[in-house]
Chains A and B, each alone.
Chain A
Amino acid sequence: MTDATLAGPALAETVTRAFDRKQRLAFAIPAAILAYLVYAAISFDIAGLMARARFDNAAILLSDFWSHKTHVTRDNRTGNLTVAIEGEAKATYPEGRLPDWVTVADDVTTIDLGQGHIVTYDANGARYVVPGYGTIDIREEGGRPALTAPEPIPDWISVGDNRIGVTTDAGRFTYTRSKVETFRYQPGWELWFFTLDSPLYGKSFGELAALAVSVERLDPARSNLALIASEFWTNRMWRHGDVAWAIFETILMAFLGTMTAALVALPLSFLAARNFMAFGPLRFAARRVFDFVRGVDGLIWTIVLSRAFGPGPMTGAIAIALTDTGSFGKMFSEALENIDEKQVEGVRSTGANAVQRARFGVIPQIMPVFLAQVLYYLESNTRSATVIGAIVGGGIGLLLTQAIITQKDWEEVAYYMVLIVLMVMLMDSLSGWIRRKLIKGE
């Protein structure tokens, strides 16, 4: 009782002080976070960024993700007409096999954009009929395009000195001195199965199935099924074969890198564990080696190694292996230091030598940690291999960065992104499944 009364005021004071401190902290921490974010916003120049951001690029990107556009271009000097998907040479419709919404009669080209939007190219210029608005008529006068359209000119028609552009829901239309061009947007990824030059282009699934079982061969050298498979696999626009190979290469890099790192790190980690390596300097050296390879980041290893081995998947695999040897070594040696000595004692009592003690007394104990970490790294390295592939020039990372750098094949970017996400999710569930099987024995 006396103690309590004596401690009373002091205790109350301590509690009050602690309470005050907590209260101050509760405000100080959010305030500090906010202050840091404000500082970061200023140093990252968010205001300037908003001004520089190009949301029209975002619109292009999004529309390319789910649709494709077909360019109908007439060269105003020669009068040549080309109809090409995404404007690519390898996806140009051959003459006489134009899509049914483009008709050519004499020198007049009529393009039906759907919803009543009709574009006509003729010898004098071009006309665009927009339902609910009227006819936009463009004629060549004195070497410059002249516009006749119902007044007032709305803001979706841009009129410049040498260029007239019209953007509607149905498509885009541009007229310049050298050429007149119409883009028609259609949903879906065009030519995903077969390109225009393939004999199989435009066939439905039913027709393909019928072809596959029919005896009559399109190509006398091969069966129809083989032809269908190879036409799809070597599709020149989407390059399915190359893409599948690139995905495989990325997974290969991750697999080789992770497994090699684990195999190298396992014996080395014994050197860095206090209970297995009594000789201090060697232990210290082993630990510093792990720290070093881990600290010299994967990026630096990748650069150094690609100078020696050249670009390719092996360079990436070695870079992953080196970095992860450090991480694995550190983790395994920590696991080794935490093992239960009793099992080792038991094995020793049967007269086992050092290797046998390690095999039967130690390895079974660290196996769960070992497997869990290796599988976790395998999954996370699949992602790293994408990035490393972009640097060393191998795998899906390279294809992706190339497609992004050209800044026009966004449908390919979308395709690769979907594939990468699927690949990572697949590796994620695969490693989770193996982990459950092996560790929990389910």
Chain B
Amino acid sequence: MVDVAFGPEPGQRPNLANPREAYLDMVRRKRMYGGILLVIFVALMASGWMLADHRNAGGFWNGLHQVLDFPSEVLSEAWEKRANLPGIFWDHVPALIETVNIAAVATLVGALAAMGLSLLATRGLARWPRLIPIFRRTMDALRAIPEIVIALVLIYILGGGPVPAVIAIALHTGGALGKLFSEVAENADLKPVEGLASVGANWSQRMWLGVIPQVAPNWLSYALLRFEINVRASAILGFVGEGGIGHDLKIAMQWGQGRYDQVVAIFLLLFLTIVLIDRASDHYRHKLVKGH
């Protein structure tokens, strides 16, 4: 009670006899902390950039005027061969579809896994409340492993193709969505669940009929956002590993001059797809969450 009425410990309590002094004192202290934090932050950033610059093969100032060299070289070659572009677009559409398919299947499988995991890991809903920490740690671990690690290891075992990428992205998605799903499910109204329990529904029926309808809009919205992220991840995995439009891009880049029209075509294709999916997911998420 003393704390509530007069603030912290007696020695550190502001001197109420002189409120002006006390206030200025507090402001001064706040400013000092803020200033110290700012100085540390600026020092970290400055030394960090200097270190990174030093470790880089080419320096920042040497490279700065070259930033536009590569794009302009690529664009000028592509401009000369602009007649080829529609044909190249067409050639790479199957790879693009593969990239999107990888992301879609991974999101779907990951979201389904996340549904189960999140319900099992949510307080008040869990089938086995004692196992909640296990399911939570499972999700943490799934989230922590970068996709590329799983993908490269799986490429070694399964050979190339889209499946390693799907599994890698799906595992990560399961962990990431599981956490978000469980945060949503925590806020679900428990009355329908109790009602279902009173008529003898088992756990899966209680979840399916009592919880899922409540959380579905938010879950779908998160899943859409994840799909958008996964399309990018799938393109990157293609570049590092195998499969999809990322792989085509890598091959075209390695070829270098003479195939820059392909590079531009793939860049454009990827850019347009990402923007399109971004837009669509934005639109539908708005609709789902805000209802208009």
Contacts and interface: CB of A to CB of B under 8 A. Distances in A.
Q: Do A and B bind each other?
A: yes
A247 interface: no
Interface string A413-442: 100010011001100100000000000000
Interface stretch (A41-49, A120-128, A274-282): A41-49
A109 interface: no
A394 interface: yes
A129 interface: no
A201 interface: no
B146 A383 contact: yes
B71 interface: yes
Given A49-B158, A53-B157, A383-B146, A312 B52 contact: yes
B156 interface: yes
A297 B235 contact: yes
A55 B158 CA distance: 8
Interface string A41-65: 0011110010011110110010000
Interface class of chain B by DSSP: helix
A307 B69 contact: yes
Given A310-B57, A314-B52, A424-B146, A61 B157 contact: yes
B157 A315 contact: no
Contacts, number: 175
B153 A37 contact: no
A49 B163 CA distance: 8
Contacts of A312: 52, 55-58
Interface string B200-235: 000000000000000000000000000000001001
Contacts of B98: 43
Contact of A387 (B57, B64, B146, B158): B146
A33 B223 CA distance: 14
Contacts of B143: 424, 428
B85 interface: no
Interface in B88-106: 98, 101, 104-105
Nearest to A394: B55
Interface residues of A, number: 63
B125 interface: no
Interface string A197-237: 00000000000000000000000000000000000000000
A367 to B, nearest CB: 12
Interface string B128-150: 00000000000011011111110
Contact of A252 (B48, B64, B101, B163): B48
Contacts of B55: 249, 312-314, 394
Nearest to A41: B105
Nearest to A307: B70
Given A44-B162, A310-B57, A256 B45 contact: yes
Interface in A304-319: 304-305, 307-315, 317
A87 B14 CA distance: 71
A442 B287 CA distance: 35
A53 B52 contact: no
A57 B152 CA distance: 13
Q: How many residues of B sit at the interface, in one of the four size bands?
A: 35 or more
Nearest to A256: B48
Contacts of B278: 291, 294-295
A390 to B, nearest CB: 6
Given A387-B148, A391-B239, A37 B108 contact: yes
A403 to B, nearest CB: 9
Contacts of B240: 387, 390-391, 401
B19 interface: no
Contacts of B149: 386, 400, 417, 420
Contacts of B51: 252
A279 B232 CA distance: 33
Contact of A308 (B70, B105, B147): B70
Contacts of B156: 57, 61, 404, 407
A304 B64 CA distance: 12
B34 interface: no
B144 A307 contact: no
B153 A297 contact: no
A304 B274 contact: no
A260 B45 contact: yes
Most-contacted residue by chain A among B44, B53, B108, B152 (CB, 10 A)? B152
Interface in A352-383: 383
Nearest to A259: B45
A40 B56 contact: no
A433 to B, nearest CB: 15
Contacts of B140: 425, 428
A55 B157 CA distance: 6
19 contacts: A36-B108, A37-B108, A49-B159, A253-B52, A256-B48, A260-B45, A291-B275, A296-B267, A299-B246, A304-B67, A309-B56, A309-B67, A310-B56, A387-B240, A393-B57, A400-B152, A417-B149, A425-B144, A428-B144
Interface of B: 41, 44-45, 48-49, 51-53, 55-60, 63-64, 66-67, 69-71, 98, 101, 104-105, 108-109, 140-141, 143-149, 152-153, 156-159, 161-163, 166, 232, 235-236, 239-240, 246, 249, 253, 267, 270-271, 274-275, 278
Given A312-B57, A317-B49, A394-B56, 4 more contacts: A310-B57, A314-B49, A383-B144, A390-B148
Shortest Cβ-Cβ A-B pairs, 9 listed: A312-B56, A310-B57, A310-B58, A309-B63, A307-B70, A314-B52, A314-B56, A308-B66, A424-B144
